[in-house]
Amino acid sequence: MIALRRNRAPAAALALFLSFASGLRPGFGQEPESAKPWKPVLGLEYHSRTIAWDEKARSSTLGSAFLTAGVERRLVRGWSVTVFVGASLSNWNGLVFRTLPFSVEYQAGFGPGFLAGATTEATLARLGSWDIGFAARFLASLGASRSLDLAGLNETGTVEVRGTWLRLEAGPVLIYRGLPAFSPYVKLGVDRLWGRCLMDEKIRDLSGSEEKSVSGKGWVSARGGFHWELGPSWGWSFEASVLPFKKTSGGLGLDLGAALRAMVSL
Q: Work out whether 109 is an interface residue with another protein (CB under 8 A).
A: yes
Minimum distance from residue 261 beta carbon to another protein (Å): 31
Binding flags for another protein, 161-200, as an x/- string (CB under 8 A): x---------------------------------------
Q: Work out whether 205 is an interface residue with another protein (CB under 8 A).
A: yes
Minimum distance from residue 98 beta carbon to another protein (Å): 7
Q: Give the SS3 label for residue 31.
A: coil
CA distances from 8 to 56, 93, 224 (A): 15, 14, 23
Minimum distance from residue 186 beta carbon to another protein (Å): 24
Separation CA 266–CA 258 (nearest Å): 26
Q: Work out whether 248 is an interface residue with another protein (CB under 8 A).
A: yes
Minimum distance from residue 204 beta carbon to another protein (Å): 7
Only one of the segments 65-73, 149-157, 173-181, 224-232 lies at the binding site for another protein (rule: CB under 8 A); that segment is: 149-157
Minimum distance from residue 248 beta carbon to another protein (Å): 7
> Residue 102 or 134: which CB sits closer to another protein?
102
The C-alpha angle 36, 41, 43, rounded to 5 degrees, equals 155
> Residue 97 or 185: which CB sits closer to another protein?
97
Q: Work out whether 33 is an interface residue with another protein (CB under 8 A).
A: no
Residues 1, 98, 110, 239, CA torsion sign: negative
Q: Work out whether 101 is an interface residue with another protein (CB under 8 A).
A: yes
Burial class of residue 228, CB neighbours in 10 A (0-12, 13-18, 19+): middle
Separation CA 107–CA 93 (nearest Å): 5
- Give the list of residues 6+ apart from residue 183 with CB closer than 8 angstroms, or none: 28, 29, 30, 175, 176, 177, 226, 227, 228
CB 212 within 8 A of CB 53: yes
Only one of the segments 7-15, 186-194, 225-233, 249-257 lies at the binding site for another protein (rule: CB under 8 A); that segment is: 249-257
Separation CA 117–CA 13 (nearest Å): 19
Binding stretches for another protein (CB under 8 A): 1-5, 54-55, 57-58, 96-99, 101-109, 148, 150-155, 157, 159, 161, 203-206, 208, 246, 248-251
